[in-house]
Chain A
Amino acid sequence: MGTLKLSETLSKHVGRVWNVAWHPKGNAFASCGEDKTIRIWSKEGSKWVNKIVLTDGHKRTVRSVSWSPCGSYLASASFDATTAIWDKKSGEFECNATLEGHENEVKSVAWSKSGNLLATCSRDKSVWVWVVAEEDEYECAAVLNAHSQDVKKVVWHPDNDILASASYDNTIKLFKEDALDNDWICMATLVSHESTVWSIAFDKTGSRLASCSDDLTVKIWKEYPPNNSEGVPTTDNDSTWKCVSTLSGYHTRTIYDLSWCHLTGLIATACGDDSIRILKEDDESDPNAPNFSVICTTECAHSQDVNSVTWNPVVANLLASCGDDGTIKLWNYIE
Chain B
Amino acid sequence: MELENTNPSIYNKIKDRLVLPEEENDDVRDEFDAREIFDLIRTINDPEHPLTLEELHVVEDSLISVDNHKNIIKVLYTPTIPHCSMATLIGLSIRVKLLRCLPPRFKVNVEINPGTHSSEHSVNKQLADKERVAAALENSHLITVINQCIATRGI
Contacts and interface: CB of A to CB of B under 8 A. Distances in A.
B105 A304 contact: yes
A79 interface: yes
Interface of B: 104-105, 107, 125, 128-132, 134-135, 138
A303 B104 contact: yes
A203 interface: no
Contact of A305 (B125, B130, B135, B138): B130
Given A61-B138, A79-B135, A123-B135, A272 B125 contact: no
B105 A303 contact: yes
A304 B102 CA distance: 13
A196 interface: yes
B131 A152 contact: yes
Given A34-B134, A303-B105, 10 more contacts: A16-B134, A123-B132, A168-B125, A168-B129, A195-B125, A196-B125, A196-B129, A214-B128, A254-B128, A324-B104
A254 B134 CA distance: 16
Contacts of B105: 303-304
Interface in A257-314: 272-273, 303-305
Nearest to A254: B128
Contacts of A105: 135
A325 interface: yes
A325 B131 contact: no
A272 B72 CA distance: 12
A168 B125 CA distance: 9
Given A304-B105, A324-B104, A107 B131 contact: yes
6 contacts: A60-B138, A61-B135, A79-B138, A105-B135, A196-B125, A303-B104
Interface of A is mostly: loop
Interface of B is mostly: helix
A83 to B, nearest CB: 16
Interface string A135-153: 0000000000000001010
Interface in A96-155: 104-105, 107, 123, 150, 152
A329 interface: no
For the complex of A and B, 10 pairs with smallest distance between CB atoms: A105-B135, A79-B135, A60-B138, A304-B104, A79-B138, A61-B138, A61-B134, A196-B129, A253-B107, A303-B105
Contacts of A63: 131
A325 B104 contact: yes
A323 B104 CA distance: 12
A303 B105 CA distance: 7
A304 B103 CA distance: 11
A74 to B, nearest CB: 21
Contacts of A61: 134-135, 138
A271 to B, nearest CB: 11
A150 B133 CA distance: 13
A64 to B, nearest CB: 11
Interface string A206-245: 0000000010000000000000000000000000000000
Contacts of B107: 253, 272-273
Contacts of A214: 125, 128-129
Nearest to B105: A303
